[in-house]
Amino acid sequence: MLATALRQDQFQPVNDAPTIDPDRAWRAVLARDRKSDGTFVTGVLTTGIYCRPSCAARHPKRENVRFFATGAEAAATGLRPCLRCKPDDVTREARAMEAALRLLAEADEVPSLEELAASAGYSPHHFHRLFKRATGVTPAAYARGLRSRRAAEALGTTARITDAIYDAGYSGPARFYADAKARLGMTPSAWRDGGRGETIRWAIADTWLGRMLVAATGKGICRLSFDEDDGDLRGRFPNATIEPGGEGLRDLVARTVAAVEAPERPHDLPLDVQGTAFQEAVWRELARIPPGESLSYAALAAKAGKPAAVRAAGTACGANNVAILIPCHRARRGDGSAGGYAYGIDRKARLIEREGGQPLRPSGAQW
């Protein structure tokens, strides 16, 4: 029936491409890992086709599989592209994403979804799906993160707030302040100047993990940490008004203690945190890890849309200002060891154990 199928002795070369780890590639095929699409193709000798790693077709037997760095290499041996997963389209998608990201980076004003899709050569609906799959966020969220990051940088180097607004790519102050209110929590001038004009209230409470600092703006919790006090808070926000929370913070502190006492349970505490688009994508993936389980920094980077950004995923964990509420203790190294934790490896292991999982192996690194 399969007249084009290749015999083992017809296939040249007979070995997997030397730049590809066959075991890792096969695991990606079994997992139908979309993040591996474009990094190699799978040649199936019995059917004479090559596929994406994520192809939804029935898995072949391992002994009938060879791996190639590109579709062109597979085609040179006589294999043809799978009509179901269309592996050669991966290159087109990569080029489309490059064009869209370049347009976002260079545009003075944020392009519309229709403009981005047109630059990529796709319909708006299909482009929206491809963009989210590739980056972990929607085009609009990516653009907001890009502008917000530019604004934070400009506010640190530009004397006038208005100049920073336009330098960051905003069409005007109204749009920037509306965006900043949702993403920065503080006003732009406060963000630029160590919290100037902002009031941050704090309290310290005893928990099973030790003494915990809780600090909040009017929007929500901006800092949850251990082994810190108001002096550390003043160091982070030297120009903010830092004052004890008193009765006004009592209920929020009680709810925070309850969340820390039961880290395996979801919480609905208000947060005032912000990061780059990638950091926020990592934080979302951390929140999706089941209690008691963990993911490697590499897996987090891949799920956040940037498989190569392993170190940046670790940095995103370190940039988390609200311990436990964003569960960065569920991140680990690729070798299964604990990696780092700002409040000590022992606390990290105890958290995982409290959530019902096995403690991670210790490691000396600290993010």
Q: Which residues are catalytic?
A: 51, 328
Query: In sequence order, what are the beta bridge partners of 332?
Result: 296
3-state secondary structure 134-192: HHCCCHHHHHHHHHHHHHHHHHHHCCCHHHHHHHCCCCCHHHHHHHHHHHCCCCHHHHH
For residues 313 and 282, the answer to whether their CB atoms sit within 8 Å is yes
CA–CA separation, 37 vs 51, rounded Å? 9
Candidates 255, 322, 253, 327; CA nearest to 286 is 327
CA–CA separation, 60 vs 64, rounded Å? 7
C-alpha gyration radius of the chain:
25
For residues 39 and 60, the answer to whether their CB atoms sit within 8 Å is no
Query: In sequence order, what are the beta bridge partners of 40?
Result: 37
Query: In sequence order, what are the beta bridge partners of 216?
Result: 201, 221
| List of residues 6+ apart from 119 with CB closer than 8 A | 99, 100, 103, 111
| List of residues 6+ apart from 323 with CB closer than 8 A | 224, 225, 226, 329, 342, 343
For residues 296 and 332, the answer to whether their CB atoms sit within 8 Å is yes
CA–CA separation, 221 vs 224, rounded Å? 7
The DSSP letter of residue 19 is T
Q: Give the neighbor-by-neighbor strand order of the sheet with 241-244.
A: 221-226, 210-216, 199-207, 241-244
Task: Say whether 31 sits in a helix, a strand or coil.
Answer: coil
Tokens representing 276 are 């780059």
| List of residues 6+ apart from 270 with CB closer than 8 A | 216, 219, 220, 221
